[in-house]
Structure 1
Amino acid sequence: MKVAVLGSGGMGGVHADVYTKLENVRLTGVCDVRIEQAEKLAARTGATAYSSFDRMLEEADFDVISIALPTYLHKEFAIKAAKAKKHIICEKPIALTAEDAKEMIAVCEDNGVRLFVGHVVRFFPDYANMKAALDSGKLGRPGVAHASRIGGHPGGWFADDSRSGGVILDLMIHDLDFLRSCFGEVSSVYALNAKKDTLDYALVTLHFDNGTIANVESNWGYPGPFHTKAEIAGSKGIIRANSLKSSSLQIAKQGSSNDPGASVVIPGSPGFRSPYELQLEHFLSCISDGGNPIVTADDALKALEVALAAKESIRTGKVVYMQGGRNQ
């Protein structure tokens, strides 16, 4: 399968490097308006560099395009790629507005191409194992969840809400998507936000249709290392993940009458393959065999809608009830 990458920044480089490692995949082009950046990436990966996406469409031979551009450019180039009959792997969030996301999905469907969105947290071993434990019933009925994603402010275009959507749309959306994959549809959203200079901090409370309540925290501006934490508490136990610990996945099971006071901690394997490699390999496999992806474009739209509801709650100071939510 022949692939190309649009955008040669951090994520574009990640995508390009992964493609060079995958079997039966050939990276044929990398594109960036900053031609020097594209040429550096091309030299590293053996692809051809382009400064114009239109020219790459005309000259390069590829079936799939990775769109690793700033969020405000996703819609424009996804639609252009879809009309050129290219399958699309787009970085998250899918778009800045629900209307743009719906248009991207519709244009891809109309042109018979697949659209995948890079909610890569689904492919991190700790998070995948947390969901597997939940789905297996080991935790019992879920009640409360916590998630946090904290790091320094990325600066640049990220600092402009009109281009990035801020910390909720760009960073917290990872956890919003993951929690929705665990608990289903969200009924209501309440959010708080503190923003000043290089600080963008958000705290969001989600109420799910199944009764689970989740508190989600994200922070751009933390002076220490980037880190994530997650916890799901159910009627039979709690499972936790903490990226600051080398063995970050832990399951603490409640003791039974036959085993009083028992508490078992099971460290999870950090895994050896990059989650980005697992994700891109999975998406390409879905294109090859027509399979259903772990995370769909509709999932990406739903996560965006929850993130936008959080921003609306911040604006109004009120709870926002999701359309169709059971607890309206």
Structure 2
Amino acid sequence: MIKIAIIGLGAMGKNHYRILSQLDGVEVCALCDVVQNDPYNEPFFHDVDEMLDTARPDAVIIAVPTFLHKEVALKCADKGVHIFIEKPAASTVQDAKDILNAVNAAGIKSCVGHVERFNPVVQALKDELAAKEIFSVAVTRVGPFPPRIADVGVLTDLSVHDIDLIRFITHKDILDQSIFKSRKIHNHHEDNAVLSFELTDSVIANITTNWLTPFKKRCIEVACQDSYFEADLIAQSLTEYSSFSTNNSYVVRGCHIKKDEPLIKELETFISYLKTGERGSLASIEDSIITLKIAIQS
């Protein structure tokens, strides 16, 4: 039985709690937050140090606000506790590097919660692209402003998903980027951005993201040498267009997707990682550092 504690019981922390409570081979041994807004059966702590010393978890889920990631992660590393950090790894590249150094020094397992990697449609798209020559990638991630987000803007909250996904599905490095951003409704951070990238092998990619759209849209479009893919990350649907002809006709194929909740797959993989050391599709702190360098230093 793996003992896992959750630090931070906001929206994402509660999602982790809901799923971990249902998984076999896992015990949610403790919860920690500055306030307790809901009743829980598990021991509840308001201090991270006290929780680590009393509950002695094997691993923790760090779901506190981003600016607290480093402080909490270093406490866990000092106790030799494995860590799952919700994306991004930290508020700054240097903080993320400090976490990485502490993790390596402690010899513990770690990952960053880029949950979209485990969206079934992303996995299916990645498989479809494995043997194809990719020309371009276009990602749209837009929606209304989330009042719960106060410490970061769209680049850190939203675009980090897609910077990571571009590298994940193409297996290519980002060589150059151009980023445009603006602040329209947020008090302190950008809420509107367009990002363009040059990847290895002359692949071009772009991301459109904002908190100005009245509805959520999450999609990836990929142009290949002989086909074109549209992936809807919310509906979990994937469509391929191929067999193009000179009279603008083409063949449409709906790819089979076994729908599932991405966070379940991610946490199952994390538990397997703790047992076997096999990371699978989990994002590393190194992955998050690459993403942060682009999102934060833009």
TM-score between both structures, scaled by the size of structure 1: 0.84
Local SS of the residue matching 1:127: helix
Asked if structure 2 preserves the Cα contact closer than 8 Å seen for 1:231 and 1:241, the reply is: yes
AA partner of residue 286 (structure 1): Y
CA contact (8 A) 1:247 1:268 kept: no
Q: Secondary structure at 2:107's aligned position in 1? A: coil
Q: Which moved more, 1:53-62 or 1:166-175?
A: 53-62
Residues 132-281 of structure 1 mapped to structure 2, 5 A cutoff: 132-135=127-130, 137=131, 140-156=132-148, 158-159=149-150, 163-164=151-152, 166-183=153-170, 184-198=172-186, 200-224=191-215, 226-243=216-233, 246=235, 248-255=237-244, 261-269=249-257, 271=259, 273-281=260-268
> How far is the alpha carbon of 1:243 from its aligned partner?
4.2
User: Which AA in structure 2 matches 1:110?
Assistant: A
* Aligned partner of residue 67 in structure 2, secondary structure: helix
Letter in 2 for 1:153: F
User: Which residue, 64, 68, 71 being the options, matches 2:63?
Assistant: 68
SS of the counterpart of 1:90? strand
Show the counterpart of 1:111.
106
Cα offsets for 1:276-314 (capped at 9, x unmatched): 0100110111111111331222112111122134x2xxx
> Which residue of the partner structure matches residue 31 of structure 1?
32
Contact 2:221-2:231 within 8 A present in 1 as well:
yes
CA–CA distance in structure 1, aligned partners of residues 93 and 226 of structure 2: 37
SS in 2 for 1:81: helix
Aligned residues of 2:241 and 2:253 also touching (Cα < 8 A): yes
Task: Single out whichever of 79-88 and 183-192 deviates more from structure 2.
Answer: 183-192
4+ runs of 1 displaced by more than 6 Å? none
Structure 1 counterpart SS, 2:137: strand
Q: What CA RMSD, in Å, does the superposition of the two structures yield over aligned residues?
A: 1.9
Counterpart Cα distance in 2 of 1:239 and 1:206: 19
Which structure has greater strand proportion?
2
Identity among equivalent pairs (%): 29
> Closer, same or farther in 2 for the Cα pair 1:247/1:21, shift >3 Å?
closer
Of 42, 47, 66, the residue aligned with 1:52 is 47
Question: Structure 2: how far apart are the matches of 1:99 and 1:247?
Answer: 35
CA apart distance, 1:256:
7.6
Aligned counterpart, 1:84: 79
CA deviation vs aligned residue, 1:37-85 (integer Å, no higher than 9, x gap): 2xx2x52xx3211111111112113100000011000011001101011
The answer to whether the Cα contact below 8 Å between 1:248 and 1:270 also exists between their aligned partners in 2 is no
Partner of 1:324: none
Q: Report if the CA contact (8 A) 1:6-1:68 is conserved.
A: yes
Contact preservation (8 Å) 2:73, 2:99: yes
**Over residues 171-216 of structure 1, what are the superposed CA-to-partner deviations in whole Å (9 max), with x where a residue is unaligned?**
1110100001133211111011121224711000011122111110
Question: Paired residues, what number?
Answer: 291
For the residue of structure 2 that corresponds to 1:292, the secondary structure is coil
Kept in 1: contact 2:269–2:279 (CA 8 A): no
Residue segments in structure 2 that go unaligned for 5+ positions in a row = none
